[in-house]
Structure 1
Amino acid sequence: MHLSDATWTDADSVDTDLALLPVGSTEQHGPHAPLGTDVETATAVAEAASEAYDGEVVVAPAIPVGIAEEHRHFSGTLWVSPDTFRSYVRETVASLAYHGWDRVVVVNGHGGNVPALGEVCATICRHDAANAVPYTWFEGVGDQRHDMGHGGPLETALLRWVEPDLIREDRIDEAREGAAERWGEWVSRVNLAVDSAEFTENGVVGDPEEGSKERGEELLALASAALVELLAAIEGRDLTGPERR
Structure 2
Amino acid sequence: MASPDHFVLRSHRLADLTWPEIAGLRQYAPVAIVPLGACEQHGPAMAQRTDTTRAEVVADLVAERLNPRVVVAPVIPVGVSEHHMAFPGTLTLSPVTLQQMVYELVTSLHRHGWRKVFVLTGHGGNNAAVEVAVSRLRGDLPALHIAWSGITPVVSDVASELALSEIRGHSCEIETSQAIFVDPELVLEERLARGSSTVDDLDPAGRLSRSQPGIHFPQGYDALSATGNLGDARAAGKEAGARLITTAVERIAGFLRELLDLPDRKPAIGVEKP
CA apart distance, 1:191: 5.4
* SS of equivalent residue, structure 1 residue 186: helix
* Partner Cα distance (1:195, 1:67) in 2: 13
Tell me the residue number matched to 2:9. none
Contact 1:21 1:107 in 2 (8 A): yes
Contact 2:65 2:253 in 1 (8 A): yes
Flag the 1:200–1:6 CA change in 2: closer, same or farther, 3 A. Answer: same
CA apart distance, 1:223: 0.7
Q: Deviations over 1:166-221 (max 9, x none)?
A: 2101101xx22x44446871325245553111110011111112221011111111
Residue from 14, 35, 52 that aligns with 1:39: 52
Cα RMSD between the aligned structures?
2.0
Are 2:154 and 1:140 equivalent residues in the alignment?
A: yes
Residue from 186, 194, 217 that aligns with 2:207: 186
The runs of 5 or more residues in structure 1 that have no matched partner are: none
Q: Deviations over 1:116-154 (max 9, x none)?
A: 211211210111263321111111114134445101112
Residue from 9, 24, 48 that aligns with 1:13: 24
Contact 1:121 1:131 in 2 (8 A): no
* SS of equivalent residue, structure 1 residue 96: helix
TM-score of the two chains, using structure 1 as the length reference: 0.91
Contact 1:25 1:68 in 2 (8 A): yes
Contact 1:180 1:204 in 2 (8 A): no
* Partner Cα distance (1:8, 1:161) in 2: 34
Are 2:262 and 1:237 equivalent residues in the alignment?
A: yes
Matches within 5 A, 1:156-235: 156-172=176-192, 175-176=193-194, 178-181=195-198, 185-187=206-208, 188-189=211-212, 190=215, 192-235=217-260
* SS of equivalent residue, structure 1 residue 10: helix
Percent of pairs with identical residues = 32
Give 1 or 2 for the bigger CA radius of gyration: 2
Are 2:116 and 1:91 equivalent residues in the alignment?
A: no
CA apart distance, 1:243: 1.9
CA apart distance, 1:16: 2.2
TM-score of the two chains, using structure 2 as the length reference: 0.82
* Partner Cα distance (1:237, 1:22) in 2: 22
Structure 1 stretch displaced more, 55-64 or 121-130: 121-130
* Partner Cα distance (1:20, 1:85) in 2: 16
Contact 1:180 1:199 in 2 (8 A): no
CA apart distance, 1:12: 2.1
Tell me the residue number matched to 2:171. 151
Flag the 1:65–1:242 CA change in 2: closer, same or farther, 3 A. Answer: same
Q: Deviations over 1:21-50 (max 9, x none)?
A: 000111100011110111011111111111
Contact 1:72 1:78 in 2 (8 A): yes
Q: Which amino acid aligns with 2:157?
A: D
Residue from 8, 13, 19 that aligns with 1:2: 13
* SS of equivalent residue, structure 1 residue 4: helix
Tell me the residue number matched to 1:80. 93
Q: Which amino acid aligns with 1:199?
A: L
CA apart distance, 1:242: 3.2
Flag the 1:203–1:241 CA change in 2: closer, same or farther, 3 A. Answer: same
Flag the 1:18–1:77 CA change in 2: closer, same or farther, 3 A. Answer: same
